[in-house]
Amino acid sequence: AADLPHLAETDPTAKALGYVEDASKTTNPKHKAGDTCSNCQFYGGGASYGPCQLFPGKAVSAKGWCVSHTPKKA
Ligand code: SF4
């Protein structure tokens, strides 16, 4: 599959959800230590970037995070 364009932090929807490329850099009080896109159930995989169900047509950073983070079911 062709690589999806990376979601920009400046994208209006990304901003609305407090998306950051690097979860370790967020100051959002909703962020819990250790939560990243790579352990979110909406993440579609990929070691560095991958699709997110909340951002169709874009790839989010595996190390990223947003307020809709939901832990992946075991
Ligand atoms: Fe990352 Fe999950 Fe937010 Fe998508 S919903 S941007 S995978 S934290």
Ligand 1 center from residue 7 Cα (angstroms): 11
pLDDT for residue 1 is more than 80: no
| Pocket-testing residue among 40, 49, 53, 72, ligand 1, by greatest number of atoms within 8 A of Cβ | 40
Per residue in 13-32, pLDDT (tens digit) is 999 999 999 999 999 999 99
Q: What is the pTM of this model?
A: 0.94
In this predicted structure, what is the pLDDT of residue 2?
61
List the residue whose alpha carbon is closest to atom 3 of ligand 1.
Answer: 66
Contacts of 25 (CB under 8 A, 6+ apart): none
